[in-house]
Amino acid sequence: MSRRALVVGNWKLNGSRSANAQLLAAVLQARPFGCDAAVCVPFPYLPETAVTLAGSDLRWGAQDCSAHDSGAYTGEVSAAMLAEFGCRYAIVGHSERRALHGETDQLVADKARAALAHGITPSVCVGETREQREAGQTDAVVKRQLSAVIHALAHCAGEIVVAYEPVWAIGTGLTATPEQAQAVHALLRAQLRAATARADAMTLLYGGSVKPDNAAALFAQPDIDGGLIGGASLKAADFIAICRAAG
Ligand code: PGA
């Protein structure tokens, strides 16, 4: 891994003000990690997280953003609003949102564009289901998902973070082997090379049951630049260990 590593915690629908305070205090205390690290927290906790992390190198972001800037979109939160608080990252296209909220490749691309337009780095998730992998469709699926984003962003495609998250590995305890993950990462980087001169400087994360005991082997792969961490990001000791493995 020649690029500076990044580890992003995805808290999903978890947390409370007191639990967050404890978790962040422990993570802050454990720095420096030798890698960049961020937490993506539920919307209501963003301002408090921003205050807690102010002046530190621990970054923060959101788990989604609207494709729209404003208007009659009840329940949505825009990238413009997030930017007002200094939000640095927004996860877009997480497989849970694709599966549970019907997000299409085009919507994910529009969200990525909205985030970038407000100075927020979208962490664009791609990944195949177990059925798609078993049918030999992995490469085609992730290429299609990334292609929609590359097309929508045009000359800005080099500004995103890409997270490869095989759906069958998320929250299941099944992790892609380092070789399986690297194969997809290499494919994605090649696709990015065809679109942007920045491809070799871009951060490509792996996500899906990353734990302290498998993180180092994943991060040792040449095209894996860090991780998007779900369950293990809620446990301070695990998140810290994973950040150290990336550093
Ligand atoms: P997991 O989730 O680490 O709990 O598998 C990863 C993610 O969904 O981003």
Residue 2 has pLDDT above 70, yes or no: no
Residue 244 CA to ligand 1 center (angstroms) comes to: 18
214 and 175 in contact (C-beta within 8 Å)?
yes
List 94, 96, 103, 185, catalytic entry: 94
- Residue spans of the domains in the chain: they are 6-246
Torsion of CA 189, 148, 233, 169, to 10 degrees: -80
| Ligand 1 atom 6 nearest Cα | 230
| Nearest atom in ligand 1 to 209's CA | 5
Helix (H) / strand (E) containing 122: strand 121-126
Encode pLDDT of 110-145 as tens digits.
999 999 999 999 999 999 999 999 999 999 999 999
Instruction: Give percent above pLDDT 90 in the chain.
Output: 98
Residue 228 has pLDDT above 70, yes or no: yes
Residue 193 CA to ligand 1 center (angstroms) comes to: 27
Encode pLDDT of 77-122 as tens digits.
999 999 999 999 999 999 999 999 999 999 999 999 999 999 999 9
CATH entry 3.20.20.70 includes domain 6-246: yes
| Ligand 1 atom 9 nearest Cα | 230
35 and 1 in contact (C-beta within 8 Å)?
no
Token pair 């927290």 in the structure block, residue? 41
Determine the residue of 172, 210, 213 to mutate for testing ligand 1's pocket, defined as the one with the most ligand atoms within 8 A of the Cβ atom: 210
* Ligand 1 pocket member 207 (CB < 6 A): yes
Q: How far apart are CA 221 and CA 13, in angstroms?
A: 30
